A and B are shown apart, each in its own frame.
Chain A
């Protein structure tokens, strides 16, 4: 995919401190228009804090942040109209009917149409797009968890945002709901008009949805790149196992193919039970998560509350 030169999101040296506790230390990244960005990290890494700072809902201790050309806390109403936000799932507007709620929330955007973008998204069209046509006249509180989530996404995009934030959008989903949700996001991304940033602690999800993955750990971006780049830059060595004369061997190496070739050249048929296990991004990520969880000090998480699920 060819990226636009236009920068939608720029974060430079972002810091966040609660009391004596640095939740974010020097977070730096940028996103081009139309890019899908996943912020990946274990619970308590500072993902929600980061995304709330970008949404303009939380102040920061230091650093420069620009979202669609504005500093979020000072973004005016017309800036707000270009931002879409999918919150973690709440219980708001339970008595409203789906169609009624989307039409109402969309009406706030009517004054912000441009030559290129007609706002809001037509209600009937949007309901069909997120697969809620049969639920249009249902009360919101009667929706299932997955339906409610699709409604949350619909609300997030009803103003046809140029920048869409999704915080842990699939937390608590069953696999089927997750797949449906992924298709929805990929569909939005395909237009290339909407820059999407989502947080998740699920690597597979990040790999599936994102053009670029950033891994946040202990308040720092520890990796940033396409899934392929990350595998290269960040990943350790492959593991080669074999037996020779009844003896078992294990060896870690970056050049596993060459190593195996040498092995056969030296020992020929004497090599048995050969296994080459390529190191994966997942291994590295999981070891990172494990490390974060084992050293997790409850005080560190205090400012980064993410709901237990």
Chain B
């Protein structure tokens, strides 16, 4: 077995083991909290009509939240990186041959796996809660697949860059504030057309809006494009923006991560621990 085959196998295995851990015991309650809360929100929105358009708000929101959960992969990666740098997991990986590569392959598998599980938790009951989702055609699954794939790469690679630059888990907590704000203006829970133009412009720079739009385009009937900006699903633009983020992330992430990994050593982890103890004490 060559080292590169070996590291892909070990990394994937690592990802699957940590995926299992992420949904075991107490963690399960933690993991279910947000998807279930989101489903409850969708449930109460299911019969509300959006501005006399004849479209139900719940039907609009259901695919949008799928997009939002894909974007949350970014937060997951930031949390993993800051916590595991502090507790020495990353340093441990560094002591192994090809360990850092194995570590990141593992993280990609775990995070993507978590997101797939979230999407299933949302979509399976969601299909029964709201009417009018288009689940039966190959076209919708194809669109869902490419938006999902591009979204996972874009948000996780950007998340890795941010995770490497943020110095501690508290910083990761701070990061979720702008992300929440961004979700607020990205047309997830209410169509973006109700927002002022300048907020619409900001939202369209970031991936969350486009992930929501992409998911709506996959799962909603075509005539519902009428309530979107420019009355179109804008697949080309979706591909362009998500692709650009993915490209930026894929170029930057290895550079930043390598720099971060190079700095790790036993005394640095000791330093993290002392700082962490000071925060607690």
Contact = CB atoms under 8 A, between A and B. Distances in A.
Interface residues on B, range: 35 or more
A155 interface: yes
Contacts of A306: 267, 270
B91 interface: yes
Chain B contact surface mostly: helix
B3 interface: yes
A284 B89 CA distance: 40
Contacts of B2: 111
A52 B266 CA distance: 7
B96 interface: yes
Contacts of B102: 108
A93 B17 CA distance: 11
A246 interface: no
B174 to A, nearest CB: 23
Contacts of B98: 77, 108
A108 B10 contact: yes
Interface string A274-309: 000000000000000000000000000000111110
A107 B266 contact: no
B137 interface: no
A111 B3 contact: yes
B92 interface: yes
B95 interface: yes
A110 interface: yes
A167 B266 contact: yes
Interface string A75-86: 001101101110
Given A92-B89, A308-B274, A110 B21 contact: no
Interface string A142-159: 000000000000011001
B265 A91 contact: no
Interface of B: 1-3, 5-7, 9-10, 13-14, 17-18, 21, 84, 87-89, 91-92, 94-99, 102, 264-267, 269-271, 273-274
